[in-house]
Amino acid sequence: ETGVTQSPTHLIKTRGQQVTLRCSSQSGHNTVSWYQQALGQGPQFIFQYYREEENGRGNFPPRFSGLQFPNYSSELNVNALELDDSALYLCASSSASGGDNEQFFGPGTRLTVL
C-alpha cells in the first residue's frame, strides 16, 4: 500500500462524454503526476502538478486537463472522450517536483470508452 488513492476504480463512458478522475496523494507529498497506460504498454506521462501549478506536460491534447488542490489531491479531466482514451489512468505522488524522484502509484482507474 502506497497511501495513494484513486477514484473511481472503474468507469464506463461513451464517446464524446466528459470524465473526471480523482487522486489523493500520499501524506507529505506535494507533487502528483498523471499517466495513461494502454494495454501492453508502459505508462505515458500526461502532466505533473506541483504545489497547485502544472509543472510539465507530455504529448497529450488540451482536452486532457488537470487541477491540484491545496491539500495536494488532484483531478484529471478528459473532455470529448474518444475510443482510444480507453486505458488505465494512474496517478503517482512524490515529495518534490521532477522526474528523478521516487513516485508512488495509486491503484489506477480503468476507463472504458464505448
Partner 1 sequence: QKEVEQNSGPLSVPEGAIASLNCTYSDRGSQSFFWYRQYSGKSPELIMFIYSNGDKEDGRFTAQLNKASQYVSLLIRDSQPSDSATYLCAVNGDSNYQLIWGAGTKLIIKP
Nearer to partner 1, 45 or 69 (CB): 45
Three cell numbers, residue 51: 504545489
* Cα dihedral across residues 49, 106, 43, 89: positive or negative: negative
- Buried b / exposed e over 81-92, threshold 16 CB at 10 Å, is beeebbbbbbbb
> Of 40-99, which residues contact partner 1 (CB under 8 A)?
40-45, 48, 50, 55-56, 58, 88, 90, 97-99
Nearer to partner 1, 16 or 52 (CB): 52
Chain residues binding partner 1 by CB under 8 A are 2, 33, 40-45, 48, 50, 55-56, 58, 88, 90, 97-100, 102-108
